[in-house]
Amino acid sequence: MKKCLIILLLGLLSFIPTASAQESSPGITTQKPIICAAVNDVLTTLKDDYGEKPILMGKEPVLLPDGSVLELRTMIWVNADKGTYTIIQQPPPGGPLEGLLCILTAGSIEGVDKKAIRTMLGDVQI
């Protein structure tokens, strides 16, 4: 459970600067391929084939050109025993990807900053 909690907090940290980064600097745009498939297929594969479980569900704010903000549902799945993770996102409704989940990234956990996690958690009990 501690491993899942630590990974959860790392995931939270990765999503914090999204809106502010989009406002301040355009950065570099890449053409990273992203795999999208039917919701049930993705969730079943993560659960049954990789033994991962969802530890974080959130919304990523995306700043649109007209100044409005679109919130995309995002989930982090983890298999703490095997040290793997997958980050998936649900595309906005009404578009060509409606009804699909997209795998943004997946891989192995290389390290966790336990001191930073303890500092962030303080006396929080989960």
pLDDT digits (tens, 9 = 90+) for 34-55: 999 999 999 999 999 999 999 8
pLDDT digits (tens, 9 = 90+) for 1-13: 444 434 433 443 4
Kindly state the tokens that stand for 97.
Answer: 């990807």
Whether the pTM exceeds 0.85: the reply is no
Are 80 and 7 spatial neighbours (Cβ–Cβ below 8 Å)?
yes
pLDDT at 121: 67
CA-closest candidate to residue 45, choices 86, 96, 81, 13: 86
pLDDT at 23: 55
